[in-house]
Amino acid sequence: MRIILGAFVISTVFCQAGALYKSFELFKRNQWQVNKVLKSQDQRNAERMDEIEAAIIKQNEVIRHTMSQVDKLTKNVDESNKVIKSSYETTRRLEVQLQESATKLNLAAKEIQALKMKLESSEVKVSLLEDRLSDAEHADFSSQTGPETIENISVKNPVKKDLPNPKKPLKQSPPKPAAKNPIITGKDANSSICIFVHLQFTTKLTFYRTLSAPEETEKADIKNLVAPSKPILVPGVPIEEEENIDLLESSEGFAGLLNQLKDRPKIPPTEAPALLGEYDEKGCAPIAQISETAGGFVHTSWVDGGDDSITSFNAFAYVPLPEFVPSDGKVLMKFNGVASDIQVWQAKSKRISQDGDLWLFTPSDMNVVKQNAGDVWKFNFIATVASSSPKMELSFCKNFDAPEVVETVMLFDSEIYLPQGEEEAEYDEDEILLDYDLSTEDEPDNFSPLGLIQAPRPASSSSFRPPLGAPINSFKQQTNNRRVVSGGRCSQSAGRAIVNAAQISPNFTTSPSEELEIFQYDLNEVLHKSILFYEAQRAGKLPENNRVPWRGDSVLTDGCDIGVDLSGGWFDAGDHVKYTFPAAFTATMLAWSILDYEDAYQAANELENALDQVRWELEWLLAAHLSPNELVVMVGDPKADHGRWGPPETLSLRRPTYVVNQQKPGTEPAAETSAALAAGYLLFKTRDAEFAERCLTSSKQLLEFSDRNRQNYHKSVPEVSEFYKSWSGYEDELCWATAWLYRATGDVAYGRLARHYYDTFNCGKIEESFDWDKKHAGVQLLMAQTTGEDKYRQDVNRHAIHLITRQATSHAGLLWFHKWGSLRIANNWGAFLLGASQLEPKLQRAGEFALKGIEQLGYSLGDQGRSYVVGFGQNPPVRPHHRAASCPGGKSDCGNMLHSSKANPWILYGALVGGPDKNDRYNDKRSDYIMNEVAIDYNACYQYSAAALKHILING
């Protein structure tokens, strides 16, 4: 038994030993595999480290090469700065020499004037002496005590000569022929007199001013014919302030200048040349080649690729459009060589010929093209053509297309990559914004450091806004601005037809005769009737003192879909939609005109009426500001509204409310409304302090909302894209709003922010227009008024000089930008020019700015033989594109009037119509909304100009 047990134990031990041995062998094999893997990884890591070290070495070489290039560029910049400084010093020396020359010319002018006076007196004396000599043979000289000389002759009542025409330079009078010596006979042959007088006066100095009297001297009129540009900034060299010189000063004062304006010749309209030919069988009409009017023109060019026969260039295409633009309109362009590398931003291009010389351009946005119907559509492009002198022929095509030829035409050995435009980021984390929570109440008047922060991205809003059409009781959140909806208002009809409609009875105070002698149009009447136009545009419950008997209560249920009373405000134009963006701009400009020229409104007895109209819209803007981060931007469906022709009192269409908030921001209308309310605060702070404080509070909130939540509002409300989309972006509105809040508050923080945005957003540039979308000119003038700083005055001066010297005009002198509302833009520029002329101290060419601005107003009032203001002057428009004014009383629909030749039954007093085309041609036709549209923003700057001119006449 023991033997068996022992054998069992021994066998068990051997079995366990065998298992242990196998486990040990397995462990050894695994350890070897692990070591092999680790060794392989170490080898790979070593190779990777070698690669990284090689990359670092290569990168260091690139950095060293870059630093070398930077050093070279730095040296070049230093050399350039030296050249600039040297050029600046040379320019300064030339300016000093020019000033010395001007002084010498002034002295010479005085001497010449004195000599001229002596000459006139001498000529009279010579004439008298010649008369005496002609009778010498019959004279008795025996009683004479001595010969009578020219010095002894006293001239009595000399003949006054006509004053020189200021429009023509004085010409040198030809010297009188020398008289033959007379043969004198008398009692004493020795008593003969022989007098020879020779006077000669020569000058090349040209006089341009009216001489007030022969005995007065006058300074030479020296004009700088070169428009000044921005000064070259050289470190260490200060910028000198401009001299206060008024080149248009005269002995008659500003009245003389206005007389020149009144008496200027009227230029009749001319027929426009044919720009678009007949369509061929392909559906293409050739375009004429007229500089900056029609055709394609190279702007700049450069030789590229080392071959003189290959040229790259930047060009403009001017495409005249028919009155009705086809929806498939395209531009066919034929180059005089193989073309490639075409880059175009307003259109899409494709090559349609094997030779590469034919390209077809399709507009990216056909709505923009259609807005230019009957006018010229311009677009810019870059191209490369196998020609030393690239040229192109353009045609406008309809019902035409061709397949794209995809073969690549390589003009160079390698491709050329030109920079592509990138869409601007909607929000920049590094953008410096105002710390709106920073208090500046204890800051001194001088500028001290402002707390600036890096603004975080907008957080999601917790504010509540119901969807469109939400039940009334679902909207509970309210602010002080909110006019709460009453159940009765929303349950009743939106309006009612006028029963006892009647014509307006204008009642204004006639301007003084001395004003009418200078400017032939009664500016009191102009202001009175312009304000009446705004009263005719009022929506909602009309006040008891309504002066427009053919208008009644309308759109009383506006805002019921979101539980807010939005029934007031202005209708935009001849339709019945309310747009916050242009309405706020209009309120801003009207308030600005009262702030700057209150004496004009006071003298015309229209101040209270003007204040009432501005407040009417400001009250609506306050109601539209639903909460600190919510703003109503439109009320009504534009497309449905434009499909109906009838008065607003019987309007029954659905009128949705469109709102921007933090989830769907809208910077442009929010910033514009902020500007309007800031101007309203200034206007009413001494008249109604409580109302003014409401305006200021909302203005600050809206600026913060628009600034912290930057986005173009048409992206949040696409419905506005076809009507009041901001093409210029929101940057100018931020400049505009901060500038107005700075003027309203004098707050250092807003001043610093206004300056920062002015520079950052380039608001000092010359923009193609000044209107509800583009505020650059207004920002420049406002900053110059508020700060008085030379920087902003120079920008205003530069912009104004551009308008009077380089801006396109119609044949009769109307400042021209676009056929759509041509008088609107001209009067907007006129308002800017008149505002610029009133800056103190006066700009050098202030008088010229004022005259050009007054010309735009005069054109509108009748300088060309007809008025463009309804109910004013000679032959005014009688068929403006306006639904309410064209509908007979009591009718709810009058669609037949749109194309009728009958005059409107109601006179829309004071409304400025769109205006003529570039050839000064106008058609008083109701259906022609381009020439006959009226709108609240059309009258805003027109009224500003009238008030500015009235102010000038009052103050002499």
Q: Among 287-291, 390-394, 637-641, 785-789, whose mean pLDDT is lowest? A: 287-291
Residues 662 and 461 sit within 8 Å (Cβ to Cβ): yes
- 3-state DSSP call for residue 258? helix
Three-state DSSP at 795 gives helix
Q: How far apart are CA 831 and CA 828, in angstroms?
A: 5
Residue 11: band (very low, low, confident or very high) from pLDDT cuts 50, 70, 90: confident
Instruction: Answer yes or no: same fold for 505-537+819-955 and 556-598+605-727.
Output: yes
768 is catalytic: no
Query: Is the per-residue pLDDT at 432 higher than 50?
Result: no
| pLDDT interval class at 889 (50, 70, 90) | confident
Q: How far apart are the C-alpha atoms of 588 and 603, rounded to whole Å?
A: 22
Q: Please name every residue paired with 285 in a beta bridge, in sequence order, or none if there are none.
A: 396
pLDDT band at residue 565 under the 50/70/90 scheme: very high
Percent of the chain scoring above 70 in pLDDT: 73
How many Å apart are CA 369 and CA 366, to the nearest integer? 5
| CA separation for the pair 651, 185 (Å, rounded) | 107
pLDDT band at 436 (very low <50, low <70, confident <90, very high): low
- Asked whether 288 and 277 are in contact (CB, 8 A), the reply is yes
What kind of fold does domain 505-537+819-955 have according to CATH?
Glycosyltransferase (1.50.10)
Structure confidence at residue 832 (pLDDT)? 98
- Give CA angle at 66 (63, 68), nearest 5°: 110
- Angle between helix 254-262 and 846-861 (nearest 10): 40
Which pLDDT does position 118 carry in this prediction? 63
- In 599-704 the beta strands, taken as DSSP E runs, fall at 631-635, 657-660
Q: Which burial class, exposed, middle or buried, applies to 253 when counting CB atoms under 10 A from its CB (0-12, 13-18, 19+)?
A: exposed
Q: How far is CA 767 from CA 671, 772, 773, 807, in A?
A: 19, 13, 11, 11
Least confident of 127-136, 771-780, 813-822: 127-136
Percent of the chain exceeding pLDDT 90 equals 47
Whether residue 561 contacts residue 636, with contact meaning beta carbons closer than 8 Å, is answered with: no
- How many angstroms separate the Cα of 238 from the Cα of each of 88, 89, 755, 840? 11, 12, 20, 22
* Domain range annotation of the chain: 284-397, 505-537+819-955, 556-598+605-727, 729-806
Question: Does the structure show a pLDDT above 60 at 668?
Answer: yes
Does residue 933 carry a catalytic annotation? yes
Q: How does the average pLDDT of the chain come out, rounded?
A: 78
pLDDT band at residue 117 under the 50/70/90 scheme: low
Q: Which of 575, 917, 924, 937 is catalytic?
A: 924
pTM beyond 0.95: no
| CATH 1.50.10.10 holds for 556-598+605-727 | yes
Would the pLDDT of 3 be above 80?
Answer: yes
Q: Residues 591, 682: contact at Cβ < 8 Å? A: yes
CB burial class (10 A; 0-12, 13-18, 19+) of residue 170?
middle
Distance in angstroms (rounded) separating the CA atoms of residues 426 and 513: 57
Between 539 and 367, whose confidence is greater?
539
| 284-397 fold | Immunoglobulin-like (2.60.40)
432-434/452-454 β-pairing: antiparallel
Please give the torsion angle defined by the CA atoms of residues 120, 124, 129 and 132, in that order, rounded to the nearest 10 degrees. Answer: 170
Q: Residue 509 above 70 pLDDT?
A: yes
Band of residue 71 on the pLDDT scale cut at 50, 70, 90 = confident
Q: What is the DSSP letter of 519?
A: S
pLDDT band at 90 (very low <50, low <70, confident <90, very high): confident
> Are 634 and 538 in contact, with CB atoms under 8 Å apart?
no
**What residues contact 924, with CB distance under 8 A and at least 6 apart?**
877, 878, 879, 931, 932
Residue 586 has pLDDT above 90, yes or no: yes
Residue 786 has pLDDT above 60, yes or no: yes
Instruction: Please tell me the total number of residues recorded for the chain in this structure.
Output: 956
- Decide if pLDDT at 892 tops 60: yes
The helix/strand/coil state of 318 is: strand
In degrees and rounded to multiples of 5, residue 235 shows phi and psi of: -55, 130
Is 50 exceeded by the pLDDT of residue 862?
A: yes
Do 706 and 716 form a contact (C-beta atoms < 8 A)?
no
Residue 448 has pLDDT above 50, yes or no: no
Is residue 252 scored above 60 in pLDDT? no
568 — pLDDT class (breaks 50, 70, 90): very high
| Rounded Cα–Cα distance for residues 185 and 183 (Å) | 7
- Report the range of poorest mean pLDDT among 433-437, 454-458, 493-497, 570-574: 454-458
What are the backbone angles phi and psi of residue 296, rounded to the nearest 5°?
-115, 135
Q: Which of 10-19, 224-233, 611-620 is predicted most confidently?
A: 611-620
Residue 40: count other Cβ atoms within 10 Å of its Cβ: 10
Is the pLDDT at 250 greater than 70? The verdict is no
Mean pLDDT of 800-807: 93
Cβ burial of 676 (10 Å; 0-12, 13-18, 19+) is: buried
Mean pLDDT, rounded, for 430-452: 38
Lowest mean pLDDT, pick from 131-135, 463-467, 522-526, 754-758: 463-467
d(CA 160, CA 214): 9
Question: What b/e string do you get for 607-633 counting C-beta neighbours within 10 Å, with b at 16 or more?
Answer: bebbbebbbbbbbbbbbbbbbbbbbbb
Let me know: does 341 contact 410? Beta carbons within 8 Å: no
For residue 802, the model assigns a pLDDT of 94
Average pLDDT of the residues in 446-456: 31
**Average pLDDT of 75-103?**
78
Mean pLDDT over 444-473 rounds to 33
Mean pLDDT on 279-306 = 79
**111-125, 375-389, 637-651, 844-858: segment of lowest average pLDDT:** 111-125
The verdict on whether omega for the bond into residue 841 sits within 30 degrees of 0, i.e. cis, is yes
Query: Please, which pLDDT band fits residue 313 given cuts at 50, 70 and 90?
Result: confident
Residue 592 has pLDDT above 90, yes or no: yes
Q: Among the listed ranges 4-8, 505-509, 689-693, 833-837, which one has the minimum average pLDDT value?
A: 4-8
The average pLDDT across 229-251 equals 37
Mean pLDDT (whole number) for 766-782: 95
Strand-pair partners of 358: 334
Set 565, 575, 707, 933: catalytic member: 933
Beta strands in 256-337 (DSSP E): 284-286, 295-303, 311-320, 330-335
Confidence band of 731 (pLDDT split at 50, 70, 90): very high
DSSP assignments along 39-102, one per residue: HHHHHHHHHHHHHHHHHHHHHHHHHHHHHHHHHHHHHHHHHHHHHHHHHHHHHHHHHHHHHHHH
pLDDT, greater one: 497 or 253: 497
State the DSSP code for 721: T
Residue 496: pLDDT above 90? no
Alpha carbon distances (Å) from 450 to 306, 441, 457: 54, 12, 21
Q: Is the model more confident about 271 or about 229?
A: 271
